[in-house]
Amino acid sequence: ITQAYLDRIAADDDVLGSYLHVDPAAAVERAAAIDAAGSAGSGLAGIPVALKDVIVTAGVPTTSGSKILEGWKPPYDATVAARLGAAGTVLLGKTNMDEFAMGSSTENSAYRITRNPWDPERIPGGSSGGSSAAVAGGLAPWAIGTDTGGSIRQPAALTGLVGHKPTYGSVSRFGLIAFSSSLDQAGPMARTVLDAALLHEAIGGHDPLDSTSIDAPVPVLAEAARRGAGGDLTGLKVGIVRELGGEGHTDGYEPGVLARVAEAVALLESMGAEVREVSCPAFDLALPAYYLIAPSEASSNLSRFDGVRYGLRVGDDGSRDLDEVMALTRERGFGAEVKRRIILGTYALSSGYYDAYYGQAQKVRTLISRDFSAAYDEVDVVVSPTTPTVAFPLGSRVDDPVAMYAADLCTLPASLAGVPAISVPCGLSDGLPVGFQIMAPALADDRCYRVAAALE
Ligand code: GLN
């Protein structure tokens, strides 16, 4: 299996650009060792997997899509990587991504662009666009992505995959290069709901190495996916979020996307679900709140890239002092979007502006959580489109950050509230995939899988 995927990578990845690092010899050697040991134990033994390059892997180059980490080989494995290793999976390679996971198209990678296998002139989504392109293009059976504001769900939606952002704290962040620590979460990207559930089960559960890890048992998800596939949703209460593409809130949404989503809702109804509209007024403020909170946390997290501890160091020829070397390294090592976020975040956190920006954004975050709680008093899951549009053409939004940020309109509320959310394909618009998003209360990830499987 590993060799078959390596052959596909060799044949197609020059065009697709989904990987940043592949070591065929190491992958084959690992696969052979698993074969020799027999498949006793994990059901995942011998199955290859691709990891987003934000996940640190012992001895394997890890860049987070940035020049500032070029050549860095971490001395340890992220918990996600360690658990997949212990399950007997084979690392196929590290996938391309927007630098430090900041972006929605993978065009912010410092290394290469990634193309959407459905249409190579279009973006594969982001920031986990290398993972989405690899799986959708047949260059990996499944992959791990990370989602801070939508980076698993949005690329999954735009490439016709299933992608799940787990409940915050239910998958370890240990060894994920931090972007926005109160939002970051790793999760599965796969071709089927059951695959996503199996991959999620392999990486989930408590980890003492992550201080925000929830001390709860490993979630039981594959069973929920199998149950949902039966297509009986009798008694399930579904809320359609008015503020995400509903009446009076359709600006920026493509009619083709809304039509596919309406069809998916009708399908849920035909399987016995009770559907009603719910209103979550604070969701209208999710975008500005997220784009203050995430850059604020990023500006703090990225201070560790100082030209001393990791990767790149510029100008260290004995003629300059520490501050100059640090400034030169960061000037050269960070791309434009990363610098924009650092400046935005530093400003929002600065004395005199903190209350007006960061403080306000945190209040909005609380209001969004309350909107979810109120909705979940009435319904079991809430649903929406995953993205307002289908995959857009390469280059069409790179010079317009606000248009790029709008790609996250529907995914941000679940990120800010820490609740689980899945994207499942619900048909095509103009020949391109549309994603349907299902959100559930914290730790009820199984509901996302059940409903997604029913729609599959
Ligand atoms: N596109 C969003 C951003 O640029 C979300 C990224 C993510 O989830 N990592 O911040």
pLDDT at 219: 79
pLDDT band of residue 82 (cuts 50, 70, 90) is: very high
pLDDT > 70? residue 41: no
Question: Which residues lie closer than 8 Å to 78 by C-beta, 6 or more apart?
Answer: 55, 56, 57, 172, 174, 175, 176
pLDDT at 321: 95
pLDDT > 90? residue 404: yes
pLDDT at 2: 98
Report the pLDDT averaged over residues 149-160. 98
pLDDT > 80? residue 114: yes
pLDDT > 60? residue 11: yes
pLDDT > 60? residue 341: yes
For residue 127 and ligand 1, the question of a CB distance below 6 A is answered with yes
Query: Angle, to 10 degrees, between the axis of helix 255-270 and the axis of helix 445-455?
Result: 100
Atom of ligand 1 nearest to the CA of 404: 1
Atom of ligand 1 nearest to the CA of 126: 1
Sign of torsion, CA 241 243 246 252?
A: negative
pLDDT > 90? residue 218: no
Alpha carbon of 398 to ligand 1 centroid (Å): 14
Alpha carbon of 151 to ligand 1 centroid (Å): 5
Q: Please state, in angstroms and rounded to a whole number, the distance separating the CA atoms of residues 168 and 174.
A: 13
Q: Please state, in angstroms and rounded to a whole number, the distance separating the CA atoms of residues 418 and 183.
A: 7
pLDDT at 39: 60
pLDDT at 298: 98
pLDDT at 353: 93
Q: What is the mean pLDDT of the chain?
A: 97
Q: Which H or E element spans position 201?
A: helix 193-203
pLDDT > 70? residue 344: yes
pLDDT band of residue 168 (cuts 50, 70, 90) is: very high
Alpha carbon of 145 to ligand 1 centroid (Å): 12
CB 2 within 8 A of CB 90: yes
Predicted complex ipTM: 0.98
Report the pLDDT averaged over residues 192-199. 98
Spans of all domains in the chain = 2-220
Residue that is written with structure tokens 């009708």 in the block: 266
pLDDT at 38: 75
For residue 408 and ligand 1, the question of a CB distance below 6 A is answered with yes
Report the pLDDT averaged over residues 48-66. 98
For residue 295 and ligand 1, the question of a CB distance below 6 A is answered with no
pTM, entire model: 0.98
CB 387 within 8 A of CB 252: no
Atom of ligand 1 nearest to the CA of 128: 9
CB 413 within 8 A of CB 437: no
pLDDT > 70? residue 291: yes
pLDDT at 397: 97
pLDDT > 90? residue 182: yes
pLDDT band of residue 224 (cuts 50, 70, 90) is: very high
For residue 156 and ligand 1, the question of a CB distance below 6 A is answered with no
Q: Please state, in angstroms and rounded to a whole number, the distance separating the CA atoms of residues 88 and 213.
A: 24
Q: Which H or E element spans position 360?
A: helix 360-378
| Catalytic residue annotation | 52, 127, 151
pLDDT band of residue 310 (cuts 50, 70, 90) is: confident
pLDDT > 60? residue 40: no
Report the pLDDT averaged over residues 211-231. 94
Please choose from 98, 165, 386 the residue to mutate so as to test ligand 1's pocket, defined by most ligand atoms within 8 A of CB. Answer: 98
Q: Please state, in angstroms and rounded to a whole number, the distance separating the CA atoms of residues 413 and 1.
A: 38
pLDDT band of residue 223 (cuts 50, 70, 90) is: very high
Alpha carbon of 39 to ligand 1 centroid (Å): 38
CB 104 within 8 A of CB 154: yes
Q: Please state, in angstroms and rounded to a whole number, the distance separating the CA atoms of residues 82 and 55.
A: 11
Q: Which H or E element spans position 239?
A: strand 237-241
pLDDT band of residue 115 (cuts 50, 70, 90) is: very high
Report the pLDDT averaged over residues 180-191. 98
- pLDDT, tens digit, for every residue of 255-265? 999 999 999 99
Cis peptide before 127 (omega within 30 of 0): yes
Alpha carbon of 403 to ligand 1 centroid (Å): 13
CATH superfamily of 2-220: Amidase signature (AS) domain (3.90.1300.10)
Q: Return the residue whose CA atom lies nearest to atom 10 of ligand 1.
A: 102
CB 154 within 8 A of CB 407: yes
pLDDT > 80? residue 429: yes
For residue 151 and ligand 1, the question of a CB distance below 6 A is answered with yes
Alpha carbon of 266 to ligand 1 centroid (Å): 31
For residue 150 and ligand 1, the question of a CB distance below 6 A is answered with yes
Please choose from 64, 97, 151, 397 the residue to mutate so as to test ligand 1's pocket, defined by most ligand atoms within 8 A of CB. Answer: 151
